[in-house]
Structure 1
Amino acid sequence: MITMEETIFSVLDVERTYELRGNDWLRRTTRHLKALDGVRLELRRGDTLALVGESGSGKSTLIRVMLGLEPATDGRVLYDQRPLEQFSADEKQRFGREVAFIYQNARGSMNPRMRIADILAEPIRLHQLRPEQNIPERVGDLLRRVGLPNSVQERFPNELSGGQIRRVAIARALASEPKVIMADESVAGLDVSVQAQVLNLLRDLCRESGITLVFITHDLGVASYLCERIAVLYLGRIVEQGPTDAILSTPMHPYTRSLMQAFPKFDSPLVASLRGEIPSPVNLPKGCRFAGRCAEAQDACRATDPVLTAHTAERQVACLFPLEVQP
């Protein structure tokens, strides 16, 4: 049973809607796109959670709302049992130190005119975590922790390789001594060997420091290696969540199973199991939003919109006819 003391983030029925304005035959039109639609999520201290889903499922938007970078249109996000929108200036500063973000475009998130030493020193100075004379030593410690030589300090971001710049991004996140790290596709585009090095680094850091990790990925292999829990998103909703091993061994939602079947494996041919296209989030279908692509859909699925329901203490699924879990 999860106690309030163990919960660090609570996402309570969060919606995020964008207005799309245009002209239709000289008449102004306004449409609404729901990027998030009633998301509920609990993040416990020490959790490693993967947010999985196709492009457009709402993963990055959910992270941005949890970070306070975008406001929720409805619902609330609680950090340490306090709503983000009620934070005082001091609480916002503490939140900025305790919750770090690793951008998908690590190189683009850094000032190209700053040396790596200054990039890493910036959050240390901002949050006054070390006396000025101790900052160079702390920067050296951070580089060693992510497996980079001290000589990297004098280089600029565009002088580093893809793997090196991702390690610097992790070091910058660690510089503020956070409790939570959120990462958006932080190994995408890297060579397989470099990707493995970065994943090993993140996994070791979480195990050694007890840092809570939220990791966006479309790669189920990455999710299974790095994270102990998975939340599967589809069109702005969590359709299944629970322990990684349980979900990947016995998926209960047809969408989760389709993602797994579409994932390449060395010992079997690729199966293009995700048929059809994702419906437009501006014009969602009635009933289950996955019904038009689901091989298991029944008449009730096209009329009733399923809610996320607990099937065990650790597993939840939003499906009227969840797949049977074999004993």
Structure 2
Amino acid sequence: MQRILITGSAGFIGFHLARQLLAAGHRVHGYDGLTPYYDVALKEKRHAMLKAMPGFTATEALVEDVETLDRAGADFAPDVIIHLAAQAGVRYSLTHPRSYIETNFTGSFNVLELAKRQKVRHLLIASTSSVYGANPEMPFHETDRADHPLTVYAATKKAVEGLAHSYAHLWGLPVTLFRFFTVYGAWGRPDLAYFKFAKAILQGTPIDVYNHGELWRDFTAVEDLVEGVLRLIPLAPSAPSARGATVEGDSLSPIAPWRVVNIGNNDKIHLMDFIRTLETLLGRKAVLNLMPMQPGDVPATWADCSLLERLTGFKPETDLATGLARFVDWYRDYARA
């Protein structure tokens, strides 16, 4: 049994991860600001479900609130910290860039300071496929250069990867960053495309389809993402002086206990195929509003997840129809609530 602090515990991924850890018998302290970026009631429902499970406690505050964060960390004394809290949304960063600097960068700095003081066994930080930016080579490998982010959101996430490396090097803090790819599933975020698509299709209203549908994404079921993170928890990167043989393609830093790992579905799916699958599951046709490419968007994402498989033995491979069926079953109940 471990004591695990999760920032962003009322969020989509944090909720699923906390629930799995609690079910496995771990103690979890959730830390979440319940910001109004999307429906706060949905976040409150997620937290309420976690609070009903043994072993869960929570602090409702922002990661920018360094005093409250430090107090919560000192009181809970975590073995592991999983940092998920962030200002999300690629397009929102075009109009509200300051919130990304304050939450994603400054907030992550606060979490790194907390992890250093608490001497945690492992700090895991959520990054994103968006850091690959304009990289034309696919599938994306962790060792690819990621020097050309296209949005403020991506830039803050890439900056946090670099900041975390400095902490790993200077203070021996074991850090794993996981880059996730277009996550979908039950209890998801209403601002995400698949959630908005389902709502609009059932209501008979148009859905905005960017780049006239000529987009490809590595859609990843939230259950697969969570399983990948769970398996990475005990695999804290070791200091260079303590290493044995490394696995092929490892992204370990040569001078720090720091690693980055992709968690995707090892495939890219055409957006129109995604929409058609959702239409079939909902039993209705979508009304398409074909739009040009959005600023900061990329035509495709595709993860190479062989490092995750070599490290953990786990290969995400939930097929789209199965994963979307789980979401649709949940959404029909949620929409009626």
TM-score, normalization by structure 1:
0.31
Higher strand share: 1
Structure with bigger RCO (C-alpha 8 Å, 6+ apart): 1
Q: Which has the larger radius of gyration?
A: 1
**1 or 2, which has the higher helix percentage?**
2
TM-score when normalising by structure 2? 0.30
